Chains A and B, each alone.
Chain A
């Protein structure tokens, strides 16, 4: 998201003060109609700032404050210092939850971006017909409420859902029986959740890269071809550098999706079986409302906010930093 902040739109050259204004006593008036007060800009921002400050920034500050106490939500709170934060890696269940988040980042972000990138690289040489249609369909998973997606995928993985039906058919052909309750399996529940993330992310990445590839001047490919580059060289020399921005945006958006993973886990597994699919986003809720560790819940929440911010800033920096 914030990568957009760094690019200046075409109206950013606001540097030509109008000559008459410059000659007026009092100098430039910063684009105000005559007779309007200096602080008028603040008045315009104020209503938005009040709601935003009161119901987003202030809760964030309060969350940071709560995170420094041990509190069960009912009685008196006791000072905890940073012990709630150290718990995030000393408590094995929480350490596991952050480990699961890492695994899910691979599924939600790395995998979709890699798959989409290779596919689009293969497609860069020809014009795509019906691009608008493909875009609409591929992007569909992004707009469906995650709770509805979770319900749909619970059916996909269910005892007589499509996955087990196909495996049952393979079993009938003589292969071993691979059918199982995927979301209830200690080994497979986390990857099963991850695949849902891959499914959501792949469309986003494909749409982004396809848009980017359409903008690469054809001459670059022709030049590469004249130089005798094969498809692989062409991909590395032309497509990859041209899609750097798109890749950064895709990685950022999908990683943030992995971090904000509450809805799917709550609806599909509730962190189970055991702790197999516990993730930090779920633990914020779980520790606050189920086990009465409000300070710890807030500490995990703050950690997630810091992570989300670092990912957004970091990936953007990484890409802007290297020159094409």
Chain B
């Protein structure tokens, strides 16, 4: 085949798979909006009967607090493990690394019983703390990689200027580490927002605390096959992350595939 023909075929292949990738989404949008005709009644019904305003508010609170707290803790821990040398650092790093592969399924049952005995089931705290722990495992690993890539001369310069390690971190390293930090924020936001098993188990009686994905599962329970309503609900809970993704896809993809790129 000549190069020109080859190029056409390649783009055709990619186009086919791009269509496959979005076709269920197109279904979601056409069903939710009752296209062609643009009828927002499904949204209104879903919004009113499905209490999605409450669910979105809960997701926003849980996600914001989780992501901010996890980011501060991860930046501090990653700084120590990446830019300082102290006894036990390698072992500590391995400990955090081990957390990357722990599936929610492995800890959700003990979390349920232990949080319940502490009175933390059906609370924001009970939902936030385990997710901070999961985010910190990834965040520490991610930030350590960034702090290791900082040229030692920069640390030297700050030290010669008499900056404490605390000042060096927040005044020098964090501002220039914005891209790495942004990627971490995006990924932990996505994982926290989309988390389902944890809220399902921890928020087991207080309807006012349900997060968006949990709300959708209960909504599906009441409207088994009313797909127009269900799709409106699915669109409501997926849209925030998808919108952010469309604008910042480069950071999302770079972060999720971080293991693949050999520097």
Contacts and interface: CB of A to CB of B under 8 A. Distances in A.
Interface of A: 1-5, 7-12, 14, 16, 18, 30-34, 36, 38-45, 47-49, 51-52, 54-57, 59-60, 62-63, 65-66, 73, 119, 122-123, 125-130, 132, 134-149, 151-156, 158, 161-162, 199, 202-204, 206-208, 211-212, 245-246, 249-250, 252-253, 256, 259-260, 262-263, 266-267, 280-281, 284-285, 288-289, 294, 297-298, 300-302, 304-305, 308-309, 312
Q: Is the interface of B mostly helix, strand, loop or mixed?
A: helix
Nearest to B196: A263
Given A7-B263, A144-B238, 14 more contacts: A4-B141, A5-B141, A33-B158, A41-B86, A48-B140, A55-B133, A59-B111, A138-B18, A139-B249, A139-B256, A141-B21, A206-B17, A263-B196, A267-B217
A147 B101 contact: no
Contacts of A149: 24
Interface string B230-263: 1101110110011001100110110011111111
30 contacts: A7-B262, A11-B152, A32-B84, A40-B86, A45-B76, A51-B132, A52-B99, A52-B140, A126-B6, A126-B10, A128-B14, A132-B249, A138-B17, A140-B22, A145-B193, A145-B241, A147-B234, A151-B28, A152-B27, A155-B28, A155-B231, A158-B227, A203-B21, A207-B253, A211-B257, A260-B103, A304-B103, A305-B103, A308-B106, A312-B101
Q: Is the interface of A mostly helix, strand, loop or mixed?
A: helix
A143 B106 contact: no
A216 B246 CA distance: 28
Q: Considering the complex of A and B, which 7 residue pairs feature the smallest CB-CB distances, nearest first?
A: A41-B86, A44-B80, A305-B106, A62-B110, A55-B133, A48-B77, A30-B85
Contact of A145 (B25, B31, B111, B213): B213
B145 A32 contact: no
B114 interface: yes
